[in-house]
């Protein structure tokens, strides 16, 4: 709610959960949380999302929602593609060529080499200690 008005908050909402869990009623449950008993975790997440989006809107903060029908590889792939396209459009909007950024060039070259693209020599790619490929 605070800070400069130069960002858009993007919510990713899941329309169907593959599994949902009912919040149990327990004696040890703090009295301030007792009203949650019998509701599902999905209901709670959805209510939190709607309330946060509404609060941002009331305060004049830009926000948008991306609804995924479910959590499948296809839905995630579509979301990733959406953000890739949005990044490209934003770059053009701001006068930046989003497909010619020197800061990512070395990563592209190493990827080309690792995948056997002609003209690029494969070399060992060092990982931080403890990381594995």
Q: List, in sequence order, every residue forming a beta bridge with 68; answer none if it has no partner.
A: 14
How many residues make up the chain in this entry?
133
d(CA 95, CA 47): 38
Q: Domain 9-93, what architecture? A: 3-Layer(aba) Sandwich (3.40)
Angle at 84 between CA 125 and CA 2, to 5 degrees: 105
CA atoms within 13 A on the CB side of 15: 8
Residues 112-128: pLDDT tens digits? 999 999 999 887 776 66
Domain residue spans in the chain? 9-93, 100-124
Q: Each residue of 50-79: pLDDT tens digit?
A: 999 999 999 999 999 999 999 899 999 999
Tell me, yes or no, if the pTM score tops 0.85.
no
Residue-wise pLDDT for 96-108, tens only, equals 888 887 888 888 8
pLDDT tens digits along 2-30:
888 888 899 999 988 888 999 998 888 78
């Amino acid at each position: 709610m605070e800070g400069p008005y130069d960002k858009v908050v993007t919510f990713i909402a899941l329309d169907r959960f593959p599994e949902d869990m009912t919040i149990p009623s327990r004696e040890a449950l703090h009295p301030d949380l007792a009203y949650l008993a019998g509701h599902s975790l999905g209901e709670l997440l959805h209510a939190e999302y709607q309330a946060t989006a509404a609060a941002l809107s009331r305060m004049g903060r830009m926000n948008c929602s991306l609804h995924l029908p479910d959590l499948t590889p296809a839905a995630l792939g579509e979301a990733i593609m959406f953000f890739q396209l949005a990044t490209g459009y934003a770059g053009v909007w701001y006068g930046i060529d989003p497909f010619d950024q020197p800061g990512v060039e070395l990563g592209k070259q190493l990827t080309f080499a690792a995948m056997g693209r002609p003209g690029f020599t494969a070399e060992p790619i060092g990982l931080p200690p403890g990381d594995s490929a």
